[in-house]
Structure 1
Amino acid sequence: MTVSEFDVGPIARALNVHAASYAIGGLQDIRKRLRGYSKRPSSDIFTSQTIRPHWAFHYGGRTELQFNIGLEDIAGEPALRHGVAFSFEPSQSLPSIDVLVPKVGLFNDYLRGHPEAFPDMRMWHYRGRVQSSDYPASPIMTDLVVPGPFVFLGKRQRVAEIDYDVILADFDRLLPLYEYVESGGHESPSVKVPKAAFSFQAGCSTDRPSGTTASLAERVLNISLRHNLMQAALTCRLIAQYGAANVADEHASGSGTKIDVVLQHAAGEFWYYEIKTAHSPRACIRDAIGQIMEYSYWPGAHEASRLIICGEAALDDEGAAYLRQLNERFRLPFAYEQIVLEQ
């Protein structure tokens, strides 16, 4: 089958039938409850109003985080995407994207709070007809939340090997994210996200975006890029000092979050590093302190022997006095380290 001959309609209708034994089969009942409707808006996930030849989204999804399937052209071969998406393209049913903006905020909150929820899924986006490369599940960048782009989280399958159970099982996994977003963040996820116990595994990212081709303005103002550069500089320094077998970045905390950098300082003794891009040490400490304490002390986490906040600014006398008081009065093992980047 060529890309031009592909039609998602039969797949969407088959998913409606197969969904009866999955939680996603009750999507319209969930929407009825969340919206306070007097009756269920539809009996199906996808309807004739939301199915097009090359894509489909759930009934009611135009103004929501939408469950979406669609054609992906991979090197001239058709593949089927499945997952959730925000479509920021204005239309008659979505004259303004303003209704989606707070939902993007909730989407981002959920992914920050559950960074291990979708390790096997990827995100990508379209600006017009230009498709981005794939990247790990992460908060949506602000510059994408404008009229036009389409942002997706999910997977792809070859159209010759469609597995409906895989699609529906992945929809079930995404359902707590949908419920969190569409309930305004007030409803607890209906499915607990599995949390892996802390077990140190050395290793640092090799595909982290580089700043070598970025302009000076991007290197200074792009927070995500800045964080990546600081993380790379820190891991390189720690590896040089302690060896690659003792350093890991984006390491699972054991409580459903990820630690920027973990150093195995001695057998069974770990130091946690949290990187912040604020311009003052006080702002870095303020932003980091809650996160880094959660990494060490939240139920299920592994307690660190040292909690290190990292920023670009040098620690001043007041900041040093504050951390010293936390160390001495509350016996909290805080420290601060400066990371200096070349401009």
Structure 2
Amino acid sequence: MNRSKQKGGGRLIAGILAAAVMLWTPTYAAEPSSCTQVRMADPGWTDIDATNAITGVVLGALGYHQNIENLSVPITYEGLKKGQIDVFLGNWMPAQGPLVKPFVDSHAIDVLHANLTNAKFTLAVPDYVAAAGVHTFADLAKYADKFDDKIYGIEPGAPANQNISKMIGDKAFGLGNWTLVASSETGMLTQVARAVRDKRWIVFLAWEPHLMNTEFHLTYLSGGDAYFGPNYGGATVNTVTRTGFANQCTNLGRLFKQITFNVDLENQIIANVLQNKVSVNAAAREALKAHPKLLGPWLDGVTTASGANGLQAVNSALGDH
């Protein structure tokens, strides 16, 4: 065979193979440079500290910069509406339903993805209070004096506090003369710790995932479906973004549609921070290294900010070469 024909045929085959590789190699539209800064919100809740931290580890490894603003929940939604915040991982539903509905209805925010299921969010009492006869919302009024007519909540303006205020305003369960004590997650749990230490009666907002479920022996109260939803405030936590974020920042949009947490993962991070005094970022890294199978689904089709393989970049950053 003529050598020139062999060379020509080789070049033709090489060209065909190169074209085939191009056809099978996924391509990604370049994101605007503004996408490299990811602005997120934290209301000061331990669970959102944990999820923001684990997300920050991934974002950093991918070449993005996470900026976290400490904002109340109402201000967070206003920030999303105004385009000042990109992502919020703490849309607890149905507790935030009344607050978030106007933003959803007016397309001021996008509900991107359910990042946590099987959560809880309702009122609870210490187990010794439950043992004395308090198991439901309807039981509270019978022991008003022992509770000093008070329900302890979190930060002022929080949707859960608003639910309690509405319940009191509706005079539901005979609680019309009760008072909501609003402070913060830390302030509320300090009151719980003092009450438990002295075996005093207290009713307060409780949720899972959170270390409070192992630090204290709690009983969640039933019967509050109208204000906290069924199944003891059974909750789904959504990832919400400013309108159009996922379309403008397509790679990040794909990532945030795929990042999904679980109760055990969050509890592990929270416990490491609060019990072992580890920084939340270090605890998040340890959790990711302990659960490497999470990363495959999270990073499926996701690249670094510069277009390299996302999973390889995160594994490399975690030391899993």
TM-score by length of 2: 0.24
TM-score by length of 1: 0.23
Question: Larger relative CO (CA 8 A, sep 6+): 1 or 2?
Answer: 2
Which structure would you say has the larger Rg?
2
Higher helix share: 2
